[in-house]
Structure 1
Amino acid sequence: MAIRIKDIANVAGVSPATVSMVLNNRPGVGDSTRQNILDIARSMNYDSERSANLTRHRDETIRFLHISRHGHVVNNEHEIFIANYIDGLSREARKLRLNLEIFTIQLGSIEEIVKAAQDQRSGGTIVLGTELSAQEIRCFQPIDTPIVFIDNYDEVAGFNFVDMNNKESVFMAVEHFVNKGHREIGIVASYVTTPNFAMRATAFKEALAYHGLPYVKDFCFMVDSTFPGVYKDMIETLPTRKKLPTALFCSNDIIAFGCIKALKEKGIRVPEDVSIIGFDNLPTSAMLDPALTTIEVSKRQIGKLAVRILNECIKSPGPLPAAKVLVSGELVERFSVRDLNQS
């Protein structure tokens, strides 16, 4: 005798409509209830081919959570930054015949974000971790489907991470300054807390020490992470400094843009008086006057690698060791660094 939807509903203790929603892969049913109904349907041999198709559809579907926890870093100023990640994700998903679903969560609680990652209708999730702290990342531990975090890195947490090699990239920037004859090098960092900003600030101190250069507190500027915020903070701080370094490393291009605007308004020339290096190679960096020397790390490559790792985890018959991948950057040399060797 054929098993009917009503029979499954009776065993599960739910309405036939709820069973129908689950079997047709429609939203509106909680994850635990959904999984319970699918398990009951399989145990009762209800349309086993259909159940197999649902499982196959789930494993061929991945989701990207575009998260903006507070909007200080993931905002309109970084849309091109996010677009490059999505382009890499989409290209690799198509290549591997995976369906990519994109969800944007703005100013959501960590509970909302974790719930979105728990959805049983996808085989795994890629999470934009730019604005997630190490403590918040640990909230994802109960999830039993594979997860890959991008734009974040944690050596201890047992998750998959694909991020830029911040330390290597910052060392590259400082070495470029040194090769151009600079010995008084400062940093424009942000008081907005993100893992990447923290890693760059730490790497900057290490790079100075590597080259035998002192870390001078007066050469360090702490600013907001948005263009208007950086400009405002620099305008207020510059008059309080008796001396400026000959070179400033900026934690990202947005910070560099705001810094350069403030320097110019104070009559400080770039690069004649102060040289600048940014980080990200945003399109606007090539259009500045002077064009900005910066560090570029391929966001598309990070996206592609994240999809490959997630696909391997989904296809694996058992759990795999956590993958932690760092993508190297390259220096894009333009005209914002003065060569003091030629002075």
Structure 2
Amino acid sequence: MAKEKVTIQDIADALGISRNTASKALNGVESIPAETRNKVIKKAIELKYKQFAYVDTDSVMTKAPGNIALLTCNLPGISHFGSQLLNGLEIKISSEGYNLSIHMVREYEIEAMVLPKNFEASKVDGIICIEMFDKGYSELVSGLGIPAIFIDSTSEIFYTDLQADLILMENKHSSYRMTSRLIENGHKKLGFVGDYNHCKSFNERWAGFNRALADASLKPDPSVCITEEDRFFFEPEWMERQLDRMNELPAAFVCANDFIAIGLMKALKNRNVRIPEDVAVCGFDDSPESRIVDPPLTTAHIPNNQMGIIAADMLLARVKDPARPFQITHVKTEPIFRESTGKLK
């Protein structure tokens, strides 16, 4: 009878190494040699250990070593959807024999349109861009002639101008569904919170929100929307000031992501506004915080880990065949209705 649950000890025993070494290899500890780490990852895939069960093992042992560069202006934190996405992506890339190097792109490098000093194009087989939302710099990277994939992108980019692959979570339909559900339950005055020019995903969520209003014969109300560049990360009272300018609060707010939604909920509570009795709130991303905030937040779930694996598959396919048509891929998301929007029909 097959063992139901594979453990790190099983992987260590199969390779004749210590459990501690296997654990460090799986967690990317730098002191573990790349050869050992790759062996551990391949064995984890073979034994279908946890998230490694999603990785295709057919040609793991035949991949040539190479280098993949991750370019980012803001490395995703633990609660950001991109954190788990990068975990899945790195697992897949490592299993194929590639090393992943991280290169932070500073503001002055974007202004000067230069690549990071530690980035050597001649030693890079492929490029991953995440949290890269400057149009000119995106075009610079995609014009290097190196296989590249963008995980989300600037809202200004035209797909026809991007000489690279692009992967996004499906934004418009989940935003549309959450907004429509609120409308169906009697919420007619709705506000959107988030800078829809921040990135392509925010822009698509804004589009889904507006499509839902249009289909219900409702007009957008700018007086209850907060769509300028947000400052609440740097100015704690910024969100409250945005609420102060509203003569009347809407029945519900649809937010561009969970981080914004939780900041909004805090500002509403500071004004003694009850959620959802007075105002309903929903976010997007299904972050860990969305499940523990009071009340738990209605949101849209993103299959982060699997999305990272799909992104890696797309990039590695591009490395093998640079001439293949560029792809724009959306990974399905799923609305999750929780207490922040009350009981809905």
Range into which the TM-score falls when normalised by the shorter chain: 0.7 to 0.9
Superposed CA offset, 1:284-336 (max 9, x none): 111111011111222222211121111112222x5111011011111122210
* Cα shift at 1:187: 0.8
Superposed CA offset, 1:224-261 (max 9, x none): 54654575222113233222111100111111111111
- What residue is the counterpart of 1:13 in the other structure? none
Secondary structure at 1:169's aligned position in 2?
helix
CA distance 1:258–1:233, change in 2 (3 Å): same
- What residue is the counterpart of 1:302 in the other structure? 307
Structure 1 counterpart of 2:338, from 334, 340, 343: 334
Distance between the aligned counterparts of 1:191 and 1:327, measured in 2? 20
Distance between the aligned counterparts of 2:277 and 2:196, measured in 1? 28
- What residue is the counterpart of 1:61 in the other structure? 66
* Cα shift at 1:267: 1.2
Superposed CA offset, 1:48-92 (max 9, x none): xxxxxxxx99x6324242411xx5xx665x654332122111221
Distance between the aligned counterparts of 1:340 and 1:299, measured in 2? 27
* Cα shift at 1:223: 5.6
1:82 partner amino acid: G
Contact residue 189 and residue 222 of structure 1 kept, 8 A:
yes
- What residue is the counterpart of 1:280 in the other structure? 285
Following superposition of structure 1 onto structure 2, how do residues 168-207 of structure 1 map, counting pairs within 5 Å?
Answer: 168-190=173-195, 193-207=198-212
Superposed CA offset, 1:196-217 (max 9, x none): 2233223322221122222112
Contact residue 63 and residue 101 of structure 1 kept, 8 A:
yes
- What residue is the counterpart of 2:269 in the other structure? 264
Identity across the alignment (%): 27
- What residue is the counterpart of 1:320 in the other structure? 324
- What residue is the counterpart of 1:3 in the other structure? none
* Cα shift at 1:168: 1.7
Distance between the aligned counterparts of 2:228 and 2:144, measured in 1? 36
Superposed CA offset, 1:126-156 (max 9, x none): 111x342333211124312211111227422
Distance between the aligned counterparts of 2:203 and 2:192, measured in 1? 12
Cα-Cα RMSD: 2.7
Following superposition of structure 1 onto structure 2, how do residues 80-91 of structure 1 map, counting pairs within 5 Å?
Answer: 80-91=80-91
Following superposition of structure 1 onto structure 2, how do residues 37-116 of structure 1 map, counting pairs within 5 Å?
Answer: 60-68=65-73, 76=77, 80-107=80-107, 109-110=109-110, 111-113=113-115
Distance between the aligned counterparts of 2:276 and 2:96, measured in 1? 46
Distance between the aligned counterparts of 2:310 and 2:118, measured in 1? 22
Distance between the aligned counterparts of 1:80 and 1:132, measured in 2? 16
Name which one, 1 or 2, has greater alpha-carbon Rg: 1
Contact residue 239 and residue 264 of structure 2 kept, 8 A:
yes
- What residue is the counterpart of 1:44 in the other structure? none
Contact residue 149 and residue 166 of structure 2 kept, 8 A:
yes
Secondary structure at 1:279's aligned position in 2?
coil
1:329 partner amino acid: T
CA distance 1:162–1:340, change in 2 (3 Å): closer
**Gap runs ≥5 in structure 2:** 1-61
Distance between the aligned counterparts of 1:102 and 1:114, measured in 2? 10
CA distance 1:271–1:223, change in 2 (3 Å): farther
Superposed CA offset, 1:11-41 (max 9, x none): xxxxxxxxxxxxxxxxxxxxxxxxxxxxxxx
CA distance 1:79–1:106, change in 2 (3 Å): farther
Distance between the aligned counterparts of 2:148 and 2:174, measured in 1? 26
Distance between the aligned counterparts of 2:324 and 2:204, measured in 1? 27
Distance between the aligned counterparts of 1:309 and 1:98, measured in 2? 14
- What residue is the counterpart of 2:167 in the other structure? 162
CA distance 1:176–1:190, change in 2 (3 Å): same
Q: Larger deviation: 108-117 or 202-211?
A: 108-117
CA distance 1:215–1:230, change in 2 (3 Å): farther
- What residue is the counterpart of 1:4 in the other structure? none
1:314 partner amino acid: V
